[in-house]
Chain A
Amino acid sequence: MANSFLSIEKLTQRYPDGKGGEFTVFENASFGIEKGEFVCILGHSGCGKSTIMNILAGLSEPTQGVVKMDGFAVSGPSLDRGVVFQNYSLLPWLTALKNVTFGVAARFPDWTKQQVEDHSIAFLEKVGLSGDAIHRKPSQLSGGMRQRVSIARAFANEPKLLLLDEPFGALDALTRGTIQEELLKVWSGTDQTVFMITHDIDEAILLADRILLMTNGPLARVAESVEITIPRPRMRTDIVEHPNYYAIRNHLVQFLGKRSAELAGQVSAPDEIHSPETVRIDKTQDDAVEEQPLLQAVKT
């Protein structure tokens, strides 16, 4: 983990609780993310997902602990870490295209105006926006289109790490499905490392290489790291047929429904490092092992 592309080491966040004491959101959280990995983090509200995201983005400082990227501790926001915010955060006085060129021009200051524009248009096309729509202001676009612009802005900057803070939270289910696939399309073929917060289990399984599970706060911890053993490319209609899909899904539902509460609020020794336990569920290989007892049970 210490050699990971991105390593989060002993991250602790405490806030004053307003009564003179302190409120610990999470403590000594440690995990790593490899280059090119797509990692989702799942957990209930209040477990500190957004706080972790803000620390990774450099928008807020942890009480303790460090975040290292490529071996160097990060501090403050940087163009190396792009962010897609839940509420799109497009600048409403700029057109969709200008919102993207705004980022690209900041990222590549020596490019000519034409280069910046061509690059931006190319990325807008990748998320399915072209023609007249890119010259409209965000207020004239639907929620789905706005989030597409926001995703295009983040990918066009080619950051080393892309942070997505519940990017589809405000969209209806149908739009969400389309944009998830577009996100996968833009992501595949790049070695873009992505860290994404979500509330949606199916979304996480569709998108992620690995899902980090957080227990409930306060004193939340990243308890498990679940590998998604479903081969890519994934289509939302196909993955549900895969033998691992429901096994993984059940595991996640169990965790969020029961174990996240059971494991919550455990006070730990000061030096204890809370690394997630790796969980690998692969029905395609353990078939024999797991299904035998079941068959026997039926026989007896």
Chain B
Amino acid sequence: MELLSENKRAAIWSIALLIVGLLVWELSISAQAVNTGELTEYELLTGAGTAKAGVPPPSEVAVKAWQELSNPFYDAGPNDKGIGIQIGYSIYRVLTGYFLAAIIAIPLGFLIGMSSVAYKALNPFIQVLRPISPLAWMPLALFIIQDSEASAIFVIFICSIWPMLLNTAFGVAGVREDWVNVARTHELGAFKTAFTVVLPAAAPTIVTGMRISIGIAWLVIVAAEMLVGGTGIGYYVWNEWNNLDLTSVIFSILMIGVVGMLLDAAFGLLQRRVAYVE
């Protein structure tokens, strides 16, 4: 075993676990044999002889995935769009709400981090608003905005603002005084100091907040789209549940996971870029 690197051994284990898991899943479903014994007339009338709608085996999910992914962008009417289009709608909403939140949270976080008066003045509001489940805003948003699309974006906005705001404030407040003194002894103005010293010093903390936010936004969009309907991966899951198409439900659950992982990885990359060792 020592011949293989740690990463290779881990990869072998991952693949082995995947194969075992899929096999157990596949076998446990084909074991649910249909009752083929003698049936009474009553049983035949109530449909006991037909196969139950059960959880599909992985092989069916794989076939479904192949179908969907080989033509992800087809559009055959409001209730029949390709998975790529649905995910595209969700990502569009997440990114719109997320960047609106960033535009407000990062400058406001700077202000709170630099001024303890601003921090103390705004802290009570933040503490009350932050623990509210983003979906609780939905009825109010729908009533005020009167547009389901914009309401979904608002919900993303409100859920992704807090980690970015608090992390920016925390990062900015924690910038070492020595570095600020370096800026002061070099007569840098407020803006120059903010961009050349405070921002790079606080960047790792800020990006951590951004990474937490994008994760939360992706969690929330699925639930929000189940409520507002129309398009998006959340709507797709719920629609396929109403169609009792569990194969599509499982497939879309997996897609949600994959997209979430990719979003997180993108911010992980950004995090590595701004990291520094003291």
Contact = CB atoms under 8 A, between A and B. Distances in A.
A82 interface: yes
Contacts of A83: 181, 185
Interface residues of B, number: 18
A108 B274 CA distance: 28
Contact of B200 (A77, A91, A103): A91
Nearest to A81: B185
B184 A139 contact: no
Interface in A70-100: 77-79, 81-83, 85, 87, 89, 91-93
Contact of A106 (B187, B200, B203, B276): B187
Interface string A100-122: 00110011000000000000000
A79 B186 CA distance: 5
A277 to B, nearest CB: 32
A151 interface: no
Nearest to B184: A77
Nearest to B274: A93
Contacts of B61: none
A176 interface: no
A91 B185 contact: no
A229 to B, nearest CB: 33
A223 interface: no
Interface in B164-191: 178-179, 181-182, 184-188
Given A91-B200, A102-B196, A59 B184 contact: yes
Interface in B226-278: 274, 276-278
B184 to A, nearest CB: 4
Contacts of A78: 185, 187
B201 interface: yes
A178 to B, nearest CB: 24
A139 B277 contact: yes
B276 A87 contact: no
B150 interface: no
A149 interface: no
| Chain A interface helix/strand/loop/mixed | loop
B111 interface: no
Nearest to B188: A106
Interface string B5-27: 00000000000000000000000
A139 B278 contact: yes
Contacts of A93: 200-201, 203, 274, 276
A77 B197 CA distance: 16
Contacts of B181: 59, 77, 83, 85, 89
A137 interface: yes
A91 B186 contact: no
Contacts of A81: 185
Nearest to B176: A89
With most chain A CB atoms within 10 A of its CB, the pick from B184, B185, B200, B203 is B185
A102 B186 CA distance: 9
A287 B177 CA distance: 51
A91 B176 CA distance: 10
Contacts of B203: 93
Contacts of A137: 276-277
Given A83-B181, A91-B197, A139 B186 contact: no
13 contacts: A58-B184, A59-B181, A59-B184, A77-B184, A81-B185, A89-B178, A91-B200, A91-B201, A93-B201, A93-B274, A102-B196, A103-B186, A107-B186
Given A82-B185, A93-B274, 16 more contacts: A58-B184, A59-B181, A59-B185, A77-B181, A77-B187, A83-B181, A87-B178, A91-B179, A92-B277, A92-B278, A103-B186, A106-B187, A106-B188, A107-B186, A137-B277, A157-B186
